[in-house]
């Protein structure tokens, strides 16, 4: 197997993990990784996950020019590429249309630090203002948040979903999971009618110490 085939397989396997976790359905959402040569392996547009095969993953350059693949790259490629351009630490991006992310994004509620899942994803998780899905603006708008907050691993996209990033595919998968599960937990907490407790700076500092994390305190 050559490098591109290995990376296509890895993107495919992460995609299937996201399907199994019910974070992506039908053909909504998309997954990519940055390759050692600087090119990108990304899921194709509009191919249902139950028909997807490793060979269907598309290789493009960072401007979206197709290098290898029989399908077109994801319609959300600008979302992925713009984030790679501003965050050299990011080597994988996951975009989902998961239900709790869409729900909170549609009422423009950020996700506060109420649990370790959201903390690890960089909470408070902001909401990027609505842009038409599939446009370059989705990418430039989201990338501005990731550029401004180098510790940010997840972002809600208003009326659209979420995008999560990682140093590798596994971390991007975990961050997408953390954002969605964190949003679900926040939803259940709000259902009680009481105000969820937000962790204090001191409590967050304790978590950082406990897990020896490099992250700066959230503002």
Residues recognised as catalytic: 76
**In Å, how far are 2, 137, 184 from 128, measured between CA atoms?**
38, 11, 19
Comparing CB distances to ligand 13P, the nearer of 60 and 74 is 74
Residue span binding ligand 13P (CB under 6 A) among the ranges 1-9, 26-34, 57-65, 202-210: 26-34
> Residues 43, 91, 105, 162: which binds ligand 13P (CB under 6 A)?
43
For 175, other C-beta atoms within 10 Å of its C-beta total: 27
What is the per-residue binding string for ligand 13P in 90-109, x denoting contact by CB under 6 A?
-------x------------
Q: At what angle do helices 136-148 and 77-86 cross, to 10 degrees?
A: 30
What is the per-residue binding string for ligand 13P in 158-197, x denoting contact by CB under 6 A?
----------------------------------------
Q: Does 64 bind ligand 13P (CB under 6 A)?
A: no
Comparing CB distances to ligand 13P, the nearer of 45 and 170 is 45
Q: What angle do CA 88, 124, 165 make, to 5 degrees?
A: 30
């Amino acid at each position: 197997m050559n490098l591109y085939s290995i990376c296509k397989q890895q993107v495919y396997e992460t995609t299937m993990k996201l399907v199994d976790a019910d974070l992506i359905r039908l053909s909504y959402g998309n997954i990519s990784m940055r390759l050692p040569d600087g090119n990108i392996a990304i899921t194709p547009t509009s191919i249902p996950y139950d028909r997807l095969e490793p060979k269907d993953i598309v290789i493009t350059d960072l401007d979206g020019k197709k290098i290898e693949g029989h399908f077109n790259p994801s319609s959300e490629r600008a979302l992925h590429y713009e984030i790679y351009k501003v965050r050299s630490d990011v080597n994988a991006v996951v975009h989902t249309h998961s239900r709790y992310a869409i729900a909170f994004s549609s009422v423009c509620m950020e996700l506060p630090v109420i649990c370790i899942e959201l903390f690890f994803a960089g909470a408070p998780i902001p909401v990027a203002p609505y842009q038409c899905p599939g446009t370059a603006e989705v990418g430039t708008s989201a990338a501005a948040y990731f550029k401004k907050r180098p510790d940010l691993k997840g972002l809600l996209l208003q009326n659209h979903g979420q995008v999560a990033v990682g140093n590798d595919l596994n971390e991007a998968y975990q961050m997408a999971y953390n954002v969605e599960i964190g949003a679900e937990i926040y939803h259940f907490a709000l259902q009680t009618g009481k105000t969820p407790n937000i962790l204090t700076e001191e409590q967050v500092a304790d978590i950082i110490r406990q897990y020896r994390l490099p992250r700066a305190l959230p503002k």
